[in-house]
Amino acid sequence: MTRKWLVLSAASSFLLAGLSIVTYADSTADPHAELSPIFGVALPPGYRDWQFVSIAQENGDKPDIRVILGNDIAMKAYRNGTLPFPDGAIIARLAYKYESSVRNNAVFGRDQSFIAGEPTNVQIEIKDSKRYANTGGWGYGQFENGKANKSEPLTNSCSACHTKLPHATDLIFTNYSK
């Protein structure tokens, strides 16, 4: 086996792996879409129109309010209580600035109303029990303005946090709200 063949072979494998990752999230995904580091997750087309799982509010350094949506596979699993989630399940977390609403407060006559401001980022997790076996079957990505955040420490922090959850939850923070 020559050195040239080895280089070609390695390049070919890399390309195939890359294509495989690009097309995994959705068969209609733009092959040029940016991918998250480490996991190679793309922003799934149409995620904004997915069905509703639940909502939350994080009062961290940058308070946000967030909705969790799921693709059809994820929603079916949520509704049926299927755990672990089957391969192909995708959960999207859309976060927005947590902002006081001057207009609503004027209507209600007291300061009580907080609404979603500008979007901050979207986080995606995709279940593939084989590809992501080392992280509990989940691959992660964070997207800002539709572009993948390329920070490896940030992307690793996704799985680091989710892995702290009880195994029985399939490493999922969010329960389905009726």
Contact residues for its own copies (CB under 8 A)? 48-52, 54-60, 65-67, 69, 94, 96, 98, 101, 103-104, 106-108, 110-116, 119, 161, 164-165, 173-175, 177-178
What is the biggest distance separating any 2 CA atoms in the chain, rounded to whole angstroms?
79
CB of 120 vs its own copies, minimal distance in Å:
11
Q: What is the CA radius of gyration of the chain?
A: 19
Nearest CB to its own copies, comparing residues 82 and 96? 96
CB of 167 vs its own copies, minimal distance in Å:
13
Nearest CB to its own copies, comparing residues 7 and 161? 161
Q: Are the CB atoms for 23 and 35 separated by under 8 Å?
A: no
Residue 104's H or E segment, with its range, is helix 102-108
CB of 90 vs its own copies, minimal distance in Å:
15
Measured between alpha carbons, how far apart are the two ends of the chain, in Å? 61
Strand 51-58 to strand 64-70: parallel, antiparallel, or no bridges (unpaired)? antiparallel
CB of 127 vs its own copies, minimal distance in Å:
20
Nearest CB to its own copies, comparing residues 32 and 164? 164
CA distances from 102 to 26, 29, 105, 122, 151 (A): 41, 40, 5, 26, 36
Nearest CB to its own copies, comparing residues 33 and 69? 69
